[in-house]
Structure formats: structure tokens, C-alpha cells
Amino acid sequence: MSVETLRSEGEEQTIQIGEQFATRLKRGDLVVLQGDLGAGKTEFVKGICRFLAVDDLVTSPTFSIINQYSGQMPEGDPVKIYHVDLYRIESPDQLVDVGFDDMVFAHDAIKLVEWPEHAGAHLPEAYWSVGLEGAEDDDVRTITIQRYGGEAGDDVSP
């Protein structure tokens, strides 16, 4: 398993890196995004959504927990994108209330999950990991990308 490390010098570059990363995604993929508040997780998601031709305004689902977008795969087929923010989840039991299990194992969607550590054992074994690190007062970010548990697009059902 290889680790790709990239450098972003601002929000637009983080969006562009997310857009380039999205070229690897297939229907059914899960992407977990890790990083402190303000690290650029939502900016990275904006890039993925831009590549997938999402017309909606992409915002952090901090209070709604899950935002759903309609996008388009490069070959023109429609795809659902779930953008999940688990920051306010205090226990994995709360995930049942928001329909997390149904969403995270959906084969017809691309799932983007911020704060995945709040999901406990509710995540599948196959996923992309995107880590964003950087100083709070600096626009420079280090972005690490890694694939766990299989190839992109593999069946990730429990």
C-alpha cells in the first residue's frame, strides 16, 4: 500500500487536488477525510464534487450530518454523493438514527466522511483515506492519500 503526499498552498489548490483525486473514484467508494477543524476537508470535498459535476453549493454538513448531492460519473452516468460530517456524533449508536449504515454501504454512491473516528466499527474495511494537516494560521497543507482494504470500486458490503 503506497502513500501519496501532496502539498497545497491554499483553498483553490486543495480543491484542485480533490478534483484530481476524484478521477480515481468509482461508484461504491468510501473516502474518509481526517484533519483538524479548518484543515481543508470540505475544500477537498468541493474538488471531488466539482469533478463529479455537482451543481449544488457544497457546504459542510456539520449540523445536518449528511448532505446528499447528485453528480455525474465521467462516462455520463448519474451518481449520488453523500457528504457526511460526524464531528457532532458523540457515540456510534447515534449513527443508526441518521441512517449511516445504509448510506456507508450503498453501492450506487460515492461516500465522503469527515471525522470517521466517530463511526467506530461502522465503517467498511475498504476505503480511501485522505489526511489533511497544516498550521491554523497558514494556508499550506500537507495532504496524504492512501488506499486500504482492496482496490477502488471493490465490493465493500459487510
Please indicate, yes or no, if residue 111 is contained in any of the structural domains. Answer: yes
d(CA 129, CA 113): 10
Number of domains in the chain: 1
Please indicate, yes or no, if residue 68 is contained in any of the structural domains. Answer: yes
Boundaries of domain holding 104: 3-148
Confidence of residue 134 (pLDDT cuts 50, 70, 90): confident
d(CA 144, CA 129): 8
* Chain-centroid distance, C-alpha 134: 18
Per-residue confidence (pLDDT) for residue 151, from 0 to 100: 57
Per-residue pLDDT for 129 more than 80? Answer: yes
Per-residue confidence (pLDDT) for residue 30, from 0 to 100: 96
CA-wise closest residue to 31 among 7, 10, 15, 48: 48
**What CATH number is given to the structural domain containing 129?**
3.40.50.300
Cell 459487510 identifies what position? 158
Please indicate, yes or no, if residue 46 is contained in any of the structural domains. Answer: yes
Please indicate, yes or no, if residue 88 is contained in any of the structural domains. Answer: yes
Please indicate, yes or no, if residue 157 is contained in any of the structural domains. Answer: no
Top pLDDT among 134 and 26 is at 26
Please indicate, yes or no, if residue 96 is contained in any of the structural domains. Answer: yes
Condensed to tens digits (0 to 9), the pLDDT of residues 59-111 reads: 888 777 889 999 999 999 999 999 999 988 888 788 887 888 888 888 899 99
Please indicate, yes or no, if residue 155 is contained in any of the structural domains. Answer: no
Those residues with Cβ within 8 angstroms of residue 96's Cβ, 6 or more apart along the chain or in another chain: none
CA-wise closest residue to 49 among 38, 60, 39: 60
Please indicate, yes or no, if residue 125 is contained in any of the structural domains. Answer: yes
d(CA 59, CA 45): 9
pTM, rounded to two decimals? 0.88
Dihedral sign from CA coordinates of 91, 36, 124, 69: positive
Provide the mean pLDDT of the chain: 87
Those residues with Cβ within 8 angstroms of residue 38's Cβ, 6 or more apart along the chain or in another chain: 136
